[in-house]
Amino acid sequence: MEFAVEVEVLGRVRHKNLLGLRGYCVGADQRLIVYDYMPNLSLLSHLHGQFAVEVQLDWKRRMNVAIGAAEGLLYLHQEAKPHIIHRDIKASNVLLDSNYEAQVADFGFAKLIPDGVSHMTTRVKGTLGYLAPEYAMWGKVSESCDVYSYGILLLEIVTGKKPIEKLPGGLKKTITEWAEPLIEKGKFHELVDPKLRGNYEESELRRAIHVAGLCVQGDPEKRPNMRVVVETLKGWGIKEKEMSLRIESAKYVDELMAADQPSDDEVAGEESNTYGVFGTMEVHKTQSPNGKMAFHR
């Protein structure tokens, strides 16, 4: 099913920041999809994998990747017919071509949204750390779920931190929990990936923090659409005094964190720094005892 969805979606999309379909083959015992070759592999490889030490992604390239991925999502949400929700935005699904331009990839979990439909309820698939709380808990999927995932990705690009860090003693901390106190204290320079050695544009950093904070809000109705995200990151129509430099962290309940399992890459011993996959699960439409969404702030 994921193969069929991927081929269908790839056959519909045409955008410079979306990985295009060159061809596919269905045999008796194998299925193949042919894409353009991506010599610089994925964003994951540069932030946490084999290219991390080389620091090929300087600040300018990181912001270009962030904007490119946002423009790809904008096309899916507002220009593709029907609209498409990706559902699995993460660093390993942002590939980099020879010019380090972002190519959003892997549409196996994508949902095509008919006109007039704002959201759907479905089984939860994706990677814990990137999943919007309302999607992780109840399978309620909408464009704002991709926006939330993008906000996490943007923080990851800026900080070089993983969406979920595994701490000593088996504890885990989300990237928003880590970033929130630093932003509150105005320690923006401590947010930036230390591998960049202080080489970044402060105005762009502030815009990125502002956008990420808007994207990861717990209330999906308050998140911006991807057009606003793109325009703000580019500095269009936004003044610094209008920016809200704050992030309210959303912490997954313990049951969700416990459900986090090692990814296929971790099991295979490749890219051992990748994050657990929150695989397919039945969604229980429940509420927490106080009637509120079952995640903590």
The answer to whether residue 5 sits within a structural domain is no
Neighbouring C-beta atoms of residue 104, cutoff 10 Å:
24
Question: What are phi and psi for residue 262, nearest 5 degrees?
Answer: -60, 145
The answer to whether residue 21 sits within a structural domain is no
For the chain, how big is the Rg over CA atoms in Å? Answer: 18
- pLDDT tens for each residue of 203-241: 999 999 999 999 999 899 999 999 999 999 999 877 666
Domain CATH code at residue 253: 1.10.510.10
- Which residues are known catalytic residues? 88
The pLDDT value given to residue 242: 66
Between residues 262 and 204, which one has the greater pLDDT?
204
Closest CA to 45 of 4, 100, 82: 100
Q: What is the C-alpha to C-alpha distance for residues 147 and 164, in angstroms, rounded to an integer? A: 18
The answer to whether residue 111 sits within a structural domain is yes
pLDDT winner (highest mean) among 102-111, 117-126, 263-272: 102-111
pLDDT at 143 over 90: yes
pLDDT at 175 over 80: yes
User: Do 233 and 208 contact (CB within 8 A), yes or no?
Assistant: yes
DSSP character string of 88-124 = --SGGGEEE-TT--EEE---TT-EEE-TT--EEE--B
The answer to whether residue 211 sits within a structural domain is yes
How many domains would you assign to the chain?
1
Closest CA to 95 of 137, 65, 71: 65
The pLDDT value given to residue 281: 34
- pLDDT tens for each residue of 1-32: 878 888 888 888 889 999 988 899 988 888 98
pTM of the model as a whole: 0.84
Q: pLDDT grade, residue 109 (50/70/90)?
A: confident
Closest CA to 64 of 99, 31, 88, 37: 99
Q: What is the C-alpha to C-alpha distance for residues 272 and 49, in angstroms, rounded to an integer? A: 8
The answer to whether residue 167 sits within a structural domain is yes
Provide the 3-class DSSP secondary structure of residue 37. coil
Average pLDDT over residues 121-129: 77
The answer to whether residue 8 sits within a structural domain is no
Q: What is the C-alpha to C-alpha distance for residues 179 and 182, in angstroms, rounded to an integer? A: 5
- pLDDT tens for each residue of 266-278: 443 344 433 333 3
User: Do 181 and 106 contact (CB within 8 A), yes or no?
Assistant: no
For the record, the structure tokens of 139 come out as: 């399978």
The answer to whether residue 32 sits within a structural domain is no
The answer to whether residue 78 sits within a structural domain is yes
Domain that holds residue 264: 38-296
